[in-house]
Amino acid sequence: MNSSQNISSLRAGTLLRGDCHLLMVGDPGTGKSQILKFAAGIAPRSVYTTGIGTSNAGLTCHAVKEQGEWQLEAGALPLACGGICCIDEFNTMKEADKEAIREAMEQQTVSVAKAGLVTKLNCRCSVMAACNFPENVGRAFHHDSMLSTPLLSRFDLVLYFNQANTDRWIRNVCKHLLRSQLLNSSRKRQCDQGGSHEALWSIAMLKDYVRLVRTLQPTITPDAERFVYPLSAHVRCVSLTLLFLSVLSQYFLKQRAKNRREEGLTTVRMMDSLVRLSQAHARLMFREEVTVLDALVATSLVELTMQSRETIVGDAFLETPDVVQSVFPENAEEDYAHFASSMLRALDLEGEVQLEQSFTQSSGDGEKPDELGSADASNALSSIERKLKRFRYTESGE
């Protein structure tokens, strides 16, 4: 859900990335590769690769000689510019090859000086990486993921996929796998008999929706300009409020004040990550401005990262759902409200922030496509379909 304009301008010509990076670390068989493949399938542009056999040149670029002249051929990261680059088995890469993508992840460029060619290639893409746990886990983030602290700090989210060994969880997994096989067989028989099965959100519709929300470029309103803190000057590219900034800054300061904080994750880059995640959630909900609710969702995602290891659960703000065992809530609006209230209490902001407008925030033309959990879900879905039709018509140029 990154913006199609991935770089946000700052004063004095400084640039900061607008893409979020995700790292998934976990046990084998927890669905990390499936998530990568699905994300690559719905992204407007994507490149999927694995760490096994992937080199520095394969990720960045390499020089080839054709007809007596040297030329550069782009690697996976430059080819994914404008989309996402999915790297599976990230831990199997050589250390030098993993460290080579630091510039690509933060500056979103690849500096090249090969065969007399000195240039820069753009690679404005999100990096989604997945790796397995090492044999000895539980010491620290950079040990469990086998990444250096500078590289780890460039990931906005680090999610841990722990394989549960409880009987209840194993039974649920078995039921899900068997149910999936039966459902696939039923759909196949239905198609063979001339019928059709259409999901509420088809893959084609998801692709179009992702492309549509990436075009959203919310701008700051005059009333909010005075509330922009110098600490987060780059967030002037979105519409902000004082409450939004209060939530993010309060969470960031509390993380920094922890006695057992993770050095690789609680750098000043965390503040940038919170803003990017808030923007991404606002786009996902098809909102023209970032609300307090978006900020609270961003803090919840980062809190998932901070709670993922057992060594720091006791120092967490609030209990968050397990990444692997969590289920979709029956009432999304109620779940949002419950979590938002819990996070505000943890941040000592209860009573200072009103959430009513966050749940009823409408889009620019008065429609509310983000209220999919309400009784008007079908009307909201129809509203989104109309927007997608207009978007396809505009793209076709007809």
Give the start-to-end residue ranges of the domains of the chain.
7-161, 203-396
pTM comes to 0.79
Residue 7 has pLDDT above 60, yes or no: no
Average pLDDT score over the chain: 75
Q: For residue 49, what pLDDT is reported?
A: 93
User: Is residue 82 within 8 Å of residue 44, measured between CB atoms?
Assistant: yes
Characterize the bridge pairing of strands 22-26 and 157-161: parallel
Q: What digits encode the pLDDT tens for the residues 139-167?
A: 555 555 678 888 888 999 988 888 777 78
Burial class (CB in 10 A: 0-12, 13-18, 19+), 208: buried
Higher pLDDT, 328 or 230: 328
CB atoms within 10 A of CB 222: 6
Question: Looking at residue 308, what is its pLDDT?
Answer: 62
Confidence of residue 32 (pLDDT cuts 50, 70, 90): very high
Mean pLDDT, range 326-353, rounded to an integer: 78
> b vs e for 333-361, b when ≥16 Cβ sit within 10 Å of the residue's Cβ?
eeebbebbebbbebbebeeebebeebbeb
- Give the separation between CA 213 and CA 204, rounded to whole angstroms: 15
Give residue 358's pLDDT band: very low, low, confident or very high (50, 70, 90). Answer: very low
The answer, yes or no, to whether residue 220 has pLDDT greater than 50, is no
pLDDT band at 221 (very low <50, low <70, confident <90, very high): very low
Backbone angles phi, psi at 357, to 5 degrees: -70, -30
Residues 6+ apart with CB under 8 A from 379: none
3-state secondary structure of 160: strand
Q: First vs last Cα of the chain: how many Å apart?
A: 27
48 token code pair: 């999927």
One of 3.40.50.300, 1.10.10.10, 3.40.50.1100, 3.20.20.150 is the CATH number of 7-161, namely 3.40.50.300
- In the chain, which ranges are E strands? 7-9, 15-17, 22-26, 46-50, 61-66, 69-74, 84-88, 109-114, 117-122, 126-132, 157-161
**The tokens 């404008």 sit on which residue?**
82
pLDDT at 201: 78
Q: With contact defined as beta carbons under 8 Å apart, do 78 and 110 qualify?
A: yes
Give the number of other Cβ atoms within 10 Å of residue 45's Cβ.
Answer: 14
Choose from 19-23, 144-148, 188-192, 309-313 the range with maximum mean pLDDT: 19-23
Compare 82 and 218 and report the one with higher pLDDT: 82
Binning pLDDT at 50, 70 and 90, where does residue 317 land?
Answer: low
Give Cα 252 to chain centroid, integer Å: 19
- Of residues 35 and 322, more confidence is placed in 35
Tell me the average pLDDT across 119-135.
Answer: 88
Instruction: Give the residue from 158, 125, 156, 58 showing the smallest Cα distance to 98.
Output: 58
Range with the largest mean pLDDT of 144-153, 243-252, 274-283: 274-283
Question: Residue 30's Cα: distance from chain center in Å?
Answer: 18
